Chain A
Amino acid sequence: MKNILIVDDDTIYRDLIRRKLESEGYSVTEAKGGQEALDIMKIQGTNIQLILLDLRMPEMDGQTFYYELKNRLHLDIPAIILTNQSVAVYPSDLRDFVVKTDITLDELMKKIEGYFI
């Protein structure tokens, strides 16, 4: 099973990542924001092996979503942060952190593959 959830308010990013992931044989679910992602996880949570998470989203941001996921839905699913922020400090339980402009899709794929070994 190779199911990934992408949480990002930017349609273009969800689209680009989905195309790359699907071409590499992954099955992808998309969420436009934290709340939608929580709603999806409530239903499909146990099916998702990895979350690609944007931090800065309106209404519910990535950090809040992950906190709710862990503490309210009690789902401990690994997540890679994908952001464009020049954030030097990131949530300590989200240790995998990537700046979108600093990485190619190929490099991102290699990182993602590491979670499915």
Chain B
Amino acid sequence: MNTNFQTILNKLYIRSRSSLDDFLSEETYILAIESVFSSVIITDKEGIVQYINPAVERITGYTRNEIIGKKVGLWGGIMDASYYRNLWKTINEGNIFQGEIQNKRKNGDLYTAKIVISPIQKKGKIIGFIGTEEDITLEKKIQKEKEEFISLASHQLRTPLGAMKWGLELLADSNPRLRSDISNIAIQNQLMIDLVNRLLIVLRIADNRIPVKKDIVNISTIIEPIISSIQLKLHKKDIFFSFYNPHPNLSVFTDVILLQEILLNTLDNAIKYSKNKGKISFQLTKEKDHWSFSVKDAGIGIPLKEIPHVYNKFYRGSNTISIPGTGLGMYIVKTYIHLLKGSIAIKSSLNKGTKIICTFPLK
């Protein structure tokens, strides 16, 4: 039993056991790290490898002799120089680096790993680094196959649905007296298309595969195409639409695609649940460090008790029976809003209308 080792441990932690155990000796401690399935690498502050556990040999294919005493990176060098610059900058500043990395085994095989590197601090100074590396190549392969399957399945489903959509359109063109019946079929067909599209998104959300790419963009360039795209639907129901934006030159830091989806979805809902000759108002406001938009309609509204449930997958309001819908729209909207670090609030009154307010940070 190494009492010096035990003393150090004791100083670091308040032990709940009243007497020192023989179990956690220095030897056991080292054996424990040796048994870790992921790679454990300890370097000095210059990055010279001081210790590796057997997992490193297993994963990289290099031996202890080849690694110890040399600068870490024998199985690296695949990534862009900026990746390593960022890594070293992060840990040299005393922060933890986490990320995915491509590395190369001794036999030349590339593999993907999840790495976490932490600085080892003693009395406020960095004395070295400890990193763990987990081989996630198989996981990545499975994810890629899942994504390819989803892509193929959605394509296979969309093909007949798209053919039906256009087939019905041509049928209506050449049989104007049947337009109304054909329209009913077309609505159901569109519902299936929407369902396929949305299920695809739901699957991606479940897999954390929704990319978020933020840029500084002028809000008008985001909103204008959306307003254009809803004109036809507004016209069909003779809805009076007003848009008030007191900040047309407002620049926001956001993901354009996600924000447009949020806008489109909330506006589409306002139209869908409005009565003919209804009224929809869309407004933008800006506060000190956030901005929001609100969409207000005078439609069928949401029963008060049901408002918290609208974000649930496949949930449809009890008063929406005659209106087709996927029940996935609000789930997706809420997810996207969270991805943009925003928030959503709904106010509604049955048969009077609904107001949705979405707020986002400016930066």
Q: Contact residues of A with B, CB < 8 Å?
A: 10, 12-13, 16-17, 19-20, 23, 56, 84-86, 88, 100-101, 104-106
Interface size of B by CB at 8 A reads 20
CB distance from B122 to the nearest CB of A (A): 48
User: What mask results when residues 143 to 182 of chain B are scored 1 for a CB within 8 Å of chain A, else 0?
Assistant: 0000000010011001101110111011001000000000
CB distance from A96 to the nearest CB of B (A): 15
CB distance from B161 to the nearest CB of A (A): 6
Q: Report chain A residues within 8 Å CB of B271.
A: none
Closest A residue to B169 by CB, please name it.
Answer: A105
Q: Report chain B residues within 8 Å CB of A85.
A: 151, 154-155
Does B197 interact with chain A (Cβ within 8 Å)?
yes
**Nearest 10 CB-CB pairings of A with B:** A84-B158, A100-B162, A101-B162, A12-B163, A16-B166, A101-B193, A105-B169, A101-B158, A84-B155, A105-B166
A10-B163, A88-B257 as given contacts; A20 in contact with B200, CB under 8 Å: no
Q: Report chain A residues within 8 Å CB of B166.
A: 13, 16-17, 20, 100, 104-105
A88-B257, A101-B197, A105-B170 as given contacts; A56 in contact with B155, CB under 8 Å: yes
Query: In the complex, are the beta carbons of A86 and B167 less than 8 A apart?
Result: no
Q: Report chain B residues within 8 Å CB of A86.
A: 151, 154, 197, 200
Can you name 6 A-B pairs with beta carbons within 8 Å? Answer: A10-B163, A12-B163, A84-B155, A86-B151, A86-B154, A101-B193
The listed residue (A17, A20, A101) touching B165 by CB distance below 8 A is: A101
A85-B151, A100-B158, A101-B158 as given contacts; A13 in contact with B163, CB under 8 Å: yes
A86-B197, A100-B162 as given contacts; A16 in contact with B155, CB under 8 Å: no
Separation of A23 and B196 alpha carbons in the complex (Å): 31
Separation of A17 and B166 alpha carbons in the complex (Å): 8
Separation of A12 and B158 alpha carbons in the complex (Å): 13
List CB contacts (< 8 Å) of B183-201 with chain A.
193, 196-197, 200
17 new A-B contacts at CB < 8 Å, known A16-B170, A20-B166, A104-B165 = A10-B159, A12-B163, A12-B167, A13-B162, A16-B166, A16-B167, A17-B166, A20-B170, A84-B154, A84-B158, A85-B154, A86-B197, A100-B158, A101-B158, A101-B162, A101-B193, A105-B166
CB distance from A22 to the nearest CB of B (A): 11
Q: Report chain A residues within 8 Å CB of B211.
A: 88
Q: Report chain A residues within 8 Å CB of B197.
A: 86, 101
Separation of A56 and B163 alpha carbons in the complex (Å): 16
Separation of A106 and B155 alpha carbons in the complex (Å): 22
Closest B residue to A82 by CB, please name it.
Answer: B162
Separation of A106 and B211 alpha carbons in the complex (Å): 32
Q: Report chain B residues within 8 Å CB of A101.
A: 158, 161-162, 165, 193, 196-197
Separation of A111 and B343 alpha carbons in the complex (Å): 37
Separation of A86 and B154 alpha carbons in the complex (Å): 8
Q: Report chain A residues within 8 Å CB of B163.
A: 10, 12-13, 16
CB distance from B150 to the nearest CB of A (A): 9
* Of B159, B166, B196, B200, most A-chain CB atoms within 10 Å: B166
A10-B163, A86-B151, A88-B257 as given contacts; A104 in contact with B169, CB under 8 Å: yes
Separation of A10 and B164 alpha carbons in the complex (Å): 13
CB distance from A74 to the nearest CB of B (A): 32
* Of A56, A84, A85, A104, most B-chain CB atoms within 10 Å: A84
Closest B residue to A11 by CB, please name it.
Answer: B163
Q: Report chain A residues within 8 Å CB of B162.
A: 13, 84, 100-101
Separation of A13 and B159 alpha carbons in the complex (Å): 9
Closest B residue to A84 by CB, please name it.
Answer: B158
Separation of A98 and B159 alpha carbons in the complex (Å): 14
Q: Report chain B residues within 8 Å CB of A20.
A: 166, 170
CB distance from B187 to the nearest CB of A (A): 13
Query: In the complex, are the beta carbons of B169 and A106 less than 8 A apart?
Result: yes
Separation of A4 and B162 alpha carbons in the complex (Å): 21
Separation of A12 and B164 alpha carbons in the complex (Å): 10
CB distance from A78 to the nearest CB of B (A): 21
Separation of A23 and B174 alpha carbons in the complex (Å): 11
Q: Report chain B residues within 8 Å CB of A56.
A: 155
